């Protein structure tokens, strides 16, 4: 375990955009917030996971997943980052389907469908009174496809 020696919030165009973190072992860089605990403070003992990152421009760096250390235990990090994400084979679609239950898979796609329909409304492609009809039709098509895939 290591301790946080500095935690600085970054901004982009005046809006919060993450944190830069420094540890007592000399490592410093951007914190990966999705893989980090909330409410971290300078002085906290933490478990750090290094996460390889490649920007859209191709620049490689390391992000840090930061979890609070549990006093008296050597709990391993909840996330083990792959060593080389660029050479990792893509996930087989069947693997993902079997990992999620039928109901949770349908629910996640309904959220995405709602976004698509609302985008159509805001773009003026779908009339407000047609939203329910479009959403219901799309959900029916996706539900049928999921049922067919999962058999």
Q: Is the pLDDT of residue 87 over 70?
A: no
Give pLDDT tens digits for 13-64.
888 888 999 999 999 999 998 888 888 989 999 999 999 988 888 888 899 9
**CA–CA separation, 20 vs 32, rounded Å?**
9
Q: Where are the domains of the chain?
A: 2-68, 93-150
pTM equals: 0.45
**CA–CA separation, 41 vs 50, rounded Å?**
19
Query: What pLDDT is recorded for position 46?
Result: 92
């Amino acid at each position: 375990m290591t301790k946080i020696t500095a935690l600085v919030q970054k901004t982009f165009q005046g809006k919060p955009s993450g944190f830069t973190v420094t540890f007592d072992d000399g490592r410093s860089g951007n914190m990966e917030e999705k893989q980090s605990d909330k409410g971290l403070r300078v002085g906290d003992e933490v478990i750090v996971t290094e996460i390889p990152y490649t920007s859209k421009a191709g620049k490689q760096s390391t992000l840090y997943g930061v979890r609070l250390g549990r006093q008296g235990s050597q709990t391993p990090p909840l996330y083990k980052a792959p060593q080389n994400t660029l050479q990792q084979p893509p996930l087989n679609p069947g693997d993902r389907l079997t990992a999620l239950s039928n109901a949770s898979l349908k629910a996640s796609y309904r959220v995405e469908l709602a976004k698509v329909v609302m985008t159509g409304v805001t773009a003026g492609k779908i009339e407000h009174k047609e939203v329910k009809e479009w959403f219901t039709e799309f959900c029916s098509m996706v539900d049928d496809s999921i049922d067919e895939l999962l058999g």
